[in-house]
Homo-oligomer: A and B are copies of this chain.
C-alpha cells in the first residue's frame, strides 16, 4: 500500500483562478492547502479548504507552515500586486533571503517570478506546472463556441501569434488585437482588460473605423516561458471586454492558456455571437 501523497499548497493571489485550480487539483485526487496572500487573494473564497492568510513579507511563516504540514509541492496562482518594498515588512525568515529578493525587484515580470521560483527551490519546495495539477482548465485545440472563426479572423489570429512570438524576448504583454489584417493594440503593463477597453474607446472615438464584429483578441504564452508561473488566463470578463470592443472573437494558443469559469465563458460568447477557439502553434 503506497503512502498517501502529501498535499499541494496553492499560493493564491487575486481572482477566482486560485479557487478553480484548487478544485481542479482536488478532482485530480490531490490534497490541497491554501496560502492566501493578504492584499491580493480573496480569502473568503477558500472556506472549503484548509488555509492560512499571510502577507507576502511573511515568507518565513509560510515556510514554517508548509514544513509543519509536510508540504513540499506548491503552485503559484493568481495575479499579485507587486508590493512596494516599503510595504513588504519582511519577517525573520524573509529577511535572511532579502538580498536575493531585492534583486528580484529589478527587470520584467518573468525575471521577478523566476527569482521567486528560485527562492522557493532554495527552500526545498517544488513549484508545479499548473497544467499538471489542473489539466481540465487548459484551452484545448478546438472551437468551444457555437460560432467558428471565419477565414479573415484566422488570418488575424495568425498575425497576432507571430507578433506575440516576436516580442516574447522583451517580456512584455501576452495579448494583441488584430483587425482586418492590422495589429491595432499590443498589451503592455495595462493587462488584457485594459487592452480591450482601449480598443472599445478607439471604436467609440472613431479612431478605429472597422465595422463592429471584426477583429480578434489573440493570447498565448511566450515561447520558452516557464509554465509554472503566470500562465495567460481568460475568463468571462474577457468575453465581456471583447463584446464591448466589437471584436469577432478570441483565439488562444491551445495548451498554453487557462480558461476560468469555462462554461460561463462559452455561454456568454454564444450570447454575444463571439467565437472562442484554441489554435495550435502554427496558428
User: Is there an interface contact between A183 and B190, defined as CB atoms closer than 8 Å?
Assistant: no
User: Is there an interface contact between A190 and B202, defined as CB atoms closer than 8 Å?
Assistant: yes
A residues 153-186 in Cβ contact with B at 8 Å: 159, 162-163, 166-167, 169-173, 177, 180-186
Task: Say yes or no: is A84 at the interface (Cβ < 8 Å to chain B).
Answer: yes
Chain B residues within 8 Å of A163, by CB: 167, 170, 172
Q: How many copies make up the complex?
A: 2
Q: Name the residue in A171, A182, A207, A208 with the highest tally of chain B Cβ atoms < 10 Å from its Cβ.
A: A182
A interface, size bucket: 35 or more
Chain B residues within 8 Å of A190, by CB: 185, 198, 202, 207
User: Is there an interface contact between A189 and B208, defined as CB atoms closer than 8 Å?
Assistant: yes
A residues 179-210 in Cβ contact with B at 8 Å: 180-191, 194, 198, 202, 206-209
Task: Say yes or no: is A107 at the interface (Cβ < 8 Å to chain B).
Answer: yes
**Chain B residue at minimum C-beta to C-beta distance from A179:** B189
Chain B residues within 8 Å of A89, by CB: none
Chain B residues within 8 Å of A173, by CB: 186
Task: Say yes or no: is A106 at the interface (Cβ < 8 Å to chain B).
Answer: yes
Task: Say yes or no: is A27 at the interface (Cβ < 8 Å to chain B).
Answer: no
User: Is there an interface contact between B189 and A108, defined as CB atoms closer than 8 Å?
Assistant: no
Chain B nearest CB: distance from A183 CB in Å?
A: 4
A177 vs B186: C-alpha distance in the bound complex, in angstroms? Answer: 12
Task: Say yes or no: is A82 at the interface (Cβ < 8 Å to chain B).
Answer: yes
Q: Which 3 A-B pairs have the closest CB atoms?
A: A185-B188, A186-B186, A184-B189
